[in-house]
Amino acid sequence: MEANDEVTSGQIASMTKEEALEYMGLPADADKETLENRFWQLSKKYRSMKGDEAEQKLADLSAAYDIAAGNRDMRVQAEEARAHEKKFLGKTKEEWKTYVSYTWKYYVGALILIIVSASLIWNFFFKPREDCGIISIGNFENAPGYYDGVVKDLGFKYPNLSTFCYVAVSEKEQQADSYTNQAAVATLYSGANVIVTDQAAMPYFFEYLTDCTNLYRSLEKILPAEKFAKIKPVYLSEREYKKMIVEYRKSKGMELSDTNVDLSSYSDAKIMTGLMIEDADMIKKLGYTNYWPDKPATVIFGINVLSRDQDESARIITAVLQGL
């Protein structure tokens, strides 16, 4: 049986399912497999032909197959059902489900981009600039409260009061946390006024500490003698610092060019790098909890060499110590 070549394209479009089967040379009760085989045979025949007529025959055959397979009627039914469904912004409930299932990741990406952009805009253009900073770096934690009150009394509105619990050297099962160290150093570079550390960690931040001699002398005049006696100056030389760093790197097996430096080229002049407190009651009032297993609690105050205002940094330390 051959397809009815005398039927026009316009007639095919209006055929019933039975008429489309008849057009393809099939009985009205032809099953799906028979229809598929017939479609394949006629398609193969028309593709072997040349010219516009062959192209038209293939197009007509496809249209007839669409009707015979019931696809056209299913679309019509779906369109009629859709016409009676409630719509929101031109889409039915099922259409919205389909739309969201394919596009949700783009909206999530756009939302993330908006949030990141808004955060950057806030930080660069609207966020109030920090007007002072007290950065605690050591193997301890600091409970908020004391420093907040001190900087508020000094008139600061946007302080940066951060604590980085950092094991400066390996001791038993404790290991240095490089990520915490990097975050701490990044904060120091932001221009924080005061560095607060402990006796074990302090030498590792030698390069960030400035001489506290003038501050120590001014405290002697301001503080009561009993309180001043509890403040101990801490000294370190450039040579001692460099030796410690070289030994530490060697202990870690680091093959660095500066591990065999001539230490005699560095100054051995002692610098007052900080002011240390060992009194347990004073440390408790400051809000520190010591995490060294077999070292006594210590807190050392130093002025950040990168501070925007060295005098202001000294003023903050003075106020902190006066309140103890």
Is the distance from CB of 199 to CB of 172 less than 8 angstroms?
no
Predicted local distance difference test score (pLDDT) of residue 303: 96
Distance CA 301, CA 108 (A): 46
> Which of 152, 187, 198 is CA-nearest to residue 304?
187
Contact of 201 with 294, CB cutoff 8 Å: no
CA distance 21 to 65: 8
Q: Which of the residue ranges 140-144, 173-177, 214-218 would you say has the lowest mean pLDDT?
A: 173-177
In tens, the pLDDT along 258-313 reads 546 778 888 899 999 999 999 999 999 999 999 888 889 999 999 999 898 999 99
pLDDT for position 260: 62
Topology of the domain covering 9-84: Helix Hairpins (1.10.287)
C-alpha dihedral sign at 125, 128, 131, 137: negative
CA dist 196 and 319 (Å) reads 14
Q: Give CATH for domain 132-322.
A: 3.40.190
- Which residue ranges make up each domain of the chain? 9-84, 87-127, 132-322
CB 247 within 8 A of CB 259: no
For 256, other C-beta atoms within 10 Å of its C-beta total 12
Reduce the DSSP state of residue 299 to 3 states and report it. strand
Q: What is the pTM of this model?
A: 0.59
Q: How far apart are CA 248 and CA 93, in angstroms?
A: 66
Instruction: Using CB atoms within 10 Å of the CB of residue 274, give its burial: 0 to 12 exposed, 13 to 18 middle, 19+ buried.
Output: buried
Check residue 279 and give its pLDDT.
95
